[in-house]
Structure 1
Amino acid sequence: MPPKQPQLGSLAIQAPSLTPKTVHVSPSTCHDISVFKDLMNQYRKLDDTINMRLNRTTAQYRDREREGISGKGDIEEQACAHVWRELVANWSRRKDIVEYCVAVVDQSLDEKRQSLQSAGDDASAQRKAKGILYAEEVKRNQIHNELAVETIIRKRAYEAFRTRCRYFEPPTSDVEARKWWDSV
């Protein structure tokens, strides 16, 4: 039985929208590699545009300060904290999607292997089952490769973030943010 489906929604699209799109990840999302990769690309937009996001967020906090609605700390610190929270939330959602799909595809592969064993002595059925098994293994490898891609993308985004936010460190009270900070 596959793990519980992640409850993920409009946060996949990182641009503000008045009509957010909800994306429900299901086993069919995991089995359709092009849909899965498109979804991951949508979620990776924040990482790909980290410098632009920092620029926009800094400008927003400057505008708030001019309007007298400033928060705690200086503008750069507030902007860095805001973008860091977005990054951590986005990384967590992507991790949930990838782990869910890895479990779904692994389970599917196990089921295909069992059907290959139960295919009997019929050569035609054996050949067909082996072909299906091979296709599942290719899909499994592609999904598992996303784990390595995630590590690379997080590291790249983290380095870009640290270049702009040299003096920022997440508060020790934010356990999840600290976990991500220490892991990258």
Structure 2
Amino acid sequence: MGVDEFDAETCSNLSYFKDLMKEYRKIDDNIMLRMNTTDTHSEASCKEFFKHLSDAYTRREKAVESCLKILDARLEKQQKIIDDDPYNSDIKNQIFVDETKRRMIANEYVVEDIVRERSLTVFKNKCRKFTIPEEFQRWLLLRR
């Protein structure tokens, strides 16, 4: 499933969402193996691997952003219902559930910081000839 395919159903099913994120993190989980099979003395090989790594970062970031937007829109609609009917317990319960899902999905940003830091440390140690592009470093700083 591509990031563009994230919908309300995907974002509402936390175990499915987490499974997708796990799938998207395979490159990071296997970084040592991948780096051991990459010619780390070749700047071109390191550049190609870095492209895959940064694409994975972007894909995961977009997935989290997409789900947060979907949940925010849903919570906004629910809040309007509560504003009109403050005693609607079904909607109050659903708001609680959706707020919990939103927090758990937003927590993926913390996980991302840890995963990126670990992967980039390995990458930098192995691909010493490759310089991480300035725009990517700025992008990372904006994420913190």
Q: Give the TM interval when normalised to the shorter protein.
A: 0.7 to 0.9
Is the 1:54–1:79 Cα contact (8 Å) retained in structure 2? Answer: no
Q: Which residue of 1 aligns with 2:136?
A: 180
- Higher RCO (CA-CA < 8 Å; seq separation 6+): 2
Q: 1:113 aligns with which of 58, 79, 83?
A: 79
Structure 2: which 5+ runs fail to align?
A: none
Instruction: Name the counterpart of 2:36.
Output: 55
Q: Take 1:162 and 1:38, find their aligned partners in 2: how far apart are those partners?
A: 28
Q: Partner of 1:101 in structure 2?
A: 67
- Residue 144 in 1 paired to residue 106 in 2? yes
Q: In structure 1, what is the Cα distance between the partners aligned to 2:105 and 2:33?
A: 29
1:41 matched to which residue of 2? 22
Alignment of 1:1-184 (within 5 A): 8=2, 24-58=5-39, 75-120=41-86, 123=87, 126-170=88-132, 177-182=133-138, 183=140
Query: Identity over the aligned pairs, expressed in percent?
Result: 31
More helix by share: 2
Q: How many angstroms apart in 1 are the aligned matches of 2:38 and 2:117? A: 21
Cα offset, 1:87, TM superposition:
0.6
SS of the aligned residue for 1:57 comes to: coil
Cα distance, 1:24 vs structure 2: 2.9
So what's the TM-score if we normalise by structure 2?
0.85
What is the alpha-carbon distance in structure 2 between the residues aligned to residue 178 and residue 39 of structure 1? Answer: 29
Q: Which residue type is aligned with residue 57 of structure 2?
A: W
Alignment partners' CA distance in 2, 1:97 and 1:128 = 28
Q: Gaps spanning 5+ residues in structure 1: where?
A: 1-6, 10-22, 59-73, 171-176
